[in-house]
Structure 1
Amino acid sequence: MEIEEGSNKSGIEIGLYTLGDICPDPHTGKTISTQQRMKEIIEAAKLAEDAGLDVFGIGEHHRLDYATSAPQVVLAAIAQITKRMRLTSATTVLSTVDPVRLFEDFATLDILSEGRAEIIAGRGAFVESFPLFGYELKDYDALFSEHMELFLKLNKNDRITWKGQFRPALKDAVIAPRPLQKALPIWVGVGGTPESAARAGRLGVGMAIVILDGDPIRFKPLVELYRKTGLDAGYAFEDLKVAVTGHGYFSKTSQQAKDEFYPYYLNYWEYVNRQRGMSFRLSREDFEQKTRPETALFVGSPQQIIEKILRQHELFGHQRFLVQMDIGGIPFKKVAESIEVLATEIAPAVRKAISKT
């Protein structure tokens, strides 16, 4: 049986994503185990579904300080305790994975989840997967292009003949299993380059833009380029979906949200930049500036976040909003509280406002 990709009558899907980072808690200095981190990710997904959120995403990193090197496996576990939420990678490092193996894994996930699997494909913030899986970093862009081309063909055909530069050729190869959906929804993660936005449009796939800082208005030309390129390539407007992703944390008051989140936000960026050989300093005053109404960091009270999401929706007309809140060693209890605020206070108001427009 084939089923069509699910739709959201409110006009916007709201959900969570995690990269599964494992950081010491800045208050206690303690670091939880990989096993505990995975348990908490699965529990967060269950809380999100029970509270009424629409999407849950898991990122891919091949490092000891991240818990999720195989998002499809963790998503399969989540699929068994959820019934409705869309389940997506966030992102899959497409340059360093065999597209055939990737398609089979996510088609299997789609069957196990009864048609809820998706992929956000990207090129990765870290590059450890290139030597790990035998790829050359100099082929960074060419690998992504070839793997995307092949994956899209696999998504349309149960038999394929194909030849490329990096992978052994396929001759009348059977591609099994087939997903329960007509095709696996695929998005491209875009960090801010026009080339990436135009490519997503030419391919007719969704575009997930990562906005972590600054005024999001600077991304409006990318969204316009994506849609224009997609329409010029012959795709329908409704096929050209946009997702906005970013960091966030929510509490009853703005002051409480900022007071609770700042130490973990600072800890996360200090830790990430240290892994890259870079220093990072962020004063509390700088953090306050990052949370202003016109910025992309979603930290504040429900009303502030509602207004911020709706402002971005006026800019982009996007169909999906995903937030990452479990960063920098923040305890699961605080994550759970923030999920509840998002699901019960923010999401209903945003859906209601957008459904009217």
Structure 2
Amino acid sequence: MTIELGISTFGETTPLEKTGKAISHDERIRELLEEITLADKLGIDGYAIGEHHRKDFAVSAPEIVLAMAASKTKRIHLSSATTNLPTIDPIRVYEQYATIDAVAQGRVEIMAGRGSFTEAFDIFGYDLDDYDELFKEKLDLLLRINQGEILNWPGGKFTNKVDHQGIYPRTKNPLPISLATGGSPYSTIRAASLGLPIVYAIIGGEIGHFLPLVKLYRKVAQKSGKDLSTMPIAAHSWGWLDHDNEKAIKDYFYPTKLLVDQISSERPHWNGLTYEQYLQSVSDNGVIFAGDSETVANKIIKMMEILGLSRFYLHLPVGSMPHESVLNAIEIYGKEVVPKVKEYFKDKA
């Protein structure tokens, strides 16, 4: 069984526990490049960078960071996590990622999503009421662009007509495009019916809660005549690593609570994070992967087996941690966790 293990990040810039001060955006972006370069040297399979337009995340243009990373790396797979299609032009998306691919030479992926934060709708002049329609139309356009050099597009409610125009530069092969979702059945059905790989953001509840969605994805894909062997199922979950298991769990609570509490203040259906809830999330059945290498590796294996995943991204970290600690966590992941998980699945059918 071939599996891929990567890291995801949003370039978090929340206040650090010891200083109470946040890392500046420019410093965090420079740190990110060092982190990606280290992951590449360690043989980690992928690095995925999210798009946000808010103060507590440094990356609003993941394609720029990915382009810089492409020039500094040799093997690692580079992806957005996600490209928020409702508030961006799909033609520009293709052009940007095709340009990155000229440097990365086949190591680039677009992870398309609707976006879990909505600031970009106001910034770029879109109506939040069109949330789903925007995504559907722009995803269809992006897929059409990816199919061939000459674009014939009838136009729609949100996109202009394009009559026999070439979109450049072109990649040697179509760009890999996957669909990211927080757990929507509609997104699951959409990805499966289109034959797109899917990435689940599993950040709450228990591991097994996503199994019905995975089963739905496979069922719809089969009924739609899609080839599931070309449609890897992935998950991304929050996590943290240290050589000391208890220290990792203790240290990760502060940044996690900080971010969850901030989001909770903005969303009526979210609640602040208590320490008891956090401990439940880092337990065997929870979906936060904090601990030493053995604990995290065993939990990744468990999730991948239960859900039938072939790709997993450890979001490291979810709130800001000192750069040296992040590098240490990446090193543990690359040297100890990744080899153990891959060895386990090596002889699996």
Give the TM-score band, short-chain normalised: over 0.9
1:73 aligns with 2:61: no
Equivalent of 1:333, from 306, 318, 324? Answer: 324
For 1:184-333, list aligned pairs within 5 A: 184-276=175-267, 280-333=271-324
If the length of structure 1 is used for normalisation, what is the TM-score? 0.93
Measured in 1, the distance between the counterparts of 2:189 and 2:65 equals: 31
Shift, 1:44, TM fit: 0.7
Aligned residue in 2 for 1:172: 164
For 1:102-141, list aligned pairs within 5 A: 102-141=93-132
Q: What's the secondary structure of 1:356's corresponding residue?
A: coil
Tell me which moved more, 69-78 or 131-140: 131-140
Q: Which runs of 4+ in 1 moved over 4 A?
A: 275-280
1:159 aligns with 2:179: no
CA contact (8 A) 1:230 1:240 kept: no
Q: 1:285 to 1:131 in 2, by over 3 A?
A: closer
Measured in 1, the distance between the counterparts of 2:158 and 2:317 equals: 36
Measured in 2, the distance between the counterparts of 1:253 and 1:220 equals: 31
CA contact (8 A) 2:239 2:318 kept: no
Amino acid at match of 2:161: A
Q: What's the secondary structure of 1:323's corresponding residue?
A: strand
Render the CA deviation track for 1:82-118: whole Å, top value 9, x for unaligned.
0111100000111111111111111111112111110
CA contact (8 A) 1:26 1:267 kept: no
Q: What's the secondary structure of 2:193's corresponding residue?
A: helix
Measured in 2, the distance between the counterparts of 1:170 and 1:271 equals: 42
Render the CA deviation track for 1:253-274: whole Å, top value 9, x for unaligned.
3211112211121122123333
For 1:29-108, list aligned pairs within 5 A: 29-108=20-99
Measured in 2, the distance between the counterparts of 1:106 and 1:334 equals: 31
CA contact (8 A) 2:237 2:315 kept: yes
Q: What's the secondary structure of 1:209's corresponding residue?
A: strand
Measured in 1, the distance between the counterparts of 2:316 and 2:151 equals: 41
Shift, 1:125, TM fit: 1.4
Q: What's the secondary structure of 2:346's corresponding residue?
A: helix
Shift, 1:122, TM fit: 0.8
Tell me which moved more, 320-329 or 94-103: 320-329
CA contact (8 A) 1:159 1:175 kept: yes
**Unpaired segments ≥5 residues, structure 1:** 1-9
Measured in 1, the distance between the counterparts of 2:170 and 2:195 equals: 21
If the length of structure 2 is used for normalisation, what is the TM-score? 0.96
Tell me which moved more, 115-124 or 323-332: 323-332
Aligned residue in 2 for 1:21: 12
Shift, 1:280, TM fit: 4.6
CA contact (8 A) 1:23 1:271 kept: no
Q: Percent same amino acid among aligned pairs?
A: 36
Render the CA deviation track for 1:166-198: whole Å, top value 9, x for unaligned.
111000011111123x11111111111211111
Q: 1:32 to 1:95 in 2, by over 3 A?
A: same
Render the CA deviation track for 1:258-307: whole Å, top value 9, x for unaligned.
12211121122123333447885333333222111111110112222122
Measured in 2, the distance between the counterparts of 1:69 and 1:253 equals: 34
Measured in 2, the distance between the counterparts of 1:153 and 1:137 equals: 25
Measured in 2, the distance between the counterparts of 1:161 and 1:47 equals: 42
Equivalent of 1:145, from 126, 132, 136? Answer: 136
Measured in 1, the distance between the counterparts of 2:277 and 2:286 equals: 12
Measured in 2, the distance between the counterparts of 1:152 and 1:189 equals: 15
CA contact (8 A) 1:46 1:82 kept: yes
Tell me which moved more, 74-83 or 261-270: 261-270
Q: 1:278 to 1:316 in 2, by over 3 A?
A: closer
Render the CA deviation track for 1:105-147: whole Å, top value 9, x for unaligned.
1111111211111011111111111122222111110110001
Render the CA deviation track for 1:57-89: whole Å, top value 9, x for unaligned.
110012233211110011000001101111000
Aligned residue in 2 for 1:4: none
Q: 1:260 to 1:213 in 2, by over 3 A?
A: same
Measured in 2, the distance between the counterparts of 1:139 and 1:245 equals: 27
CA contact (8 A) 2:3 2:310 kept: yes
Measured in 1, the distance between the counterparts of 2:3 and 2:62 equals: 24
CA RMSD of aligned residues (A): 1.5
Tell me which moved more, 217-226 or 72-81: 217-226
Q: What's the secondary structure of 1:28's corresponding residue?
A: coil
1:350 aligns with 2:341: yes
